[in-house]
Amino acid sequence: MPPKMAMFLLVFHLVGLPIFASDPDPVQDYCIPNPKFGTGRIARFSVLPCKNSSEVTTDDFIFSGMKNFAANFSEAGLAALSVNPTLFPGLNTPGMLFVRADLRVGGVNPPLFHPRATEIVYLVRGSVYSGFVDSGNWVFARVVEAGEVMVYPRGLVHFQMNVGDKPATIFESFNSQNAGIQKIPATIFGSGINSDLLEKAFGLSPRQIGQMRRKFDPKTTR
């Protein structure tokens, strides 16, 4: 193979990698999940099998769950409703999902990241300290007010804290229907990483590591 052709193919392959890593482009108008295949498959497949178009209704493209949202706040003061194709069938294949997040006064959404999606957030009410950290360890953050929008680039650690004197509500949208989520505290202390490594990495004592493990152990936080 001529050297120029080989170089062209290499460059084409490298440039094309990010394209193949994203959600696939739809090849039909819509794909409403077929309930006979179950709903748990969203964790293993980015696209769910479709049901026959003759069985599709307008209700498949409307989600009313926000109207009767019952906030179940965590210890950190966060309540979130993640809306994916399991809850909202019309989201299957367009390559997106959304979340409603509520923060109590002083509540936080601890540092986390989404490996497969860029996130855009719209603050419905409240005042929230919002930001992300880039790969150069620079933080981009400030207090966001109601009506403002912020974007978190894909794969970057981001965070939120209600700094106002009233509850805050945020609508968040993702450009993947299976964005993935890794919460930094739970990933570090709730995943079973060797304690000796954590002690050296964070300068914590065995007792402190034990306390953090108990706080973020999935067996005790479910």
Side-chain half-sphere exposure of 121, counting CA atoms within 13 A: 25
Instruction: Tell me the pTM.
Output: 0.79
Of 132, 150, 160, 149, nearest in space to 76 by CA: 160
Give the whole-angstrom CA distance, residue 154 versus residue 175.
9
Specify the pLDDT at position 184. 93
Q: H or E segment at 5?
A: helix 3-21
Of 147, 80, 146, 69, nearest in space to 110 by CA: 80
Q: Can you say how many angstroms the Cα of residue 205 is from the centroid of all Cα atoms in its chain?
A: 32
DSSP 3-state helix, strand, coil percentages of the chain (rounded to 5)?
Answer: 30, 25, 45
Give the whole-angstrom CA distance, residue 133 versus residue 111.
10
What domains lie within the chain, and their CATH numbers? Answer: 35-180 (2.60.120.10), 187-221 (no CATH)
Specify the pLDDT at position 86. 85
Specify the pLDDT at position 122. 97
- pLDDT by residue for the chain (222 residues), tens digit each? 565 554 444 444 444 444 445 677 777 889 998 877 665 544 445 566 888 989 999 999 999 988 877 778 998 999 999 998 889 999 988 889 999 999 999 999 999 999 999 999 999 999 999 999 999 999 999 999 999 999 999 999 999 999 999 999 999 999 998 899 999 999 999 999 999 999 999 999 999 999 999 888 766 444
What single-letter amino acid sits at 46?
Answer: S
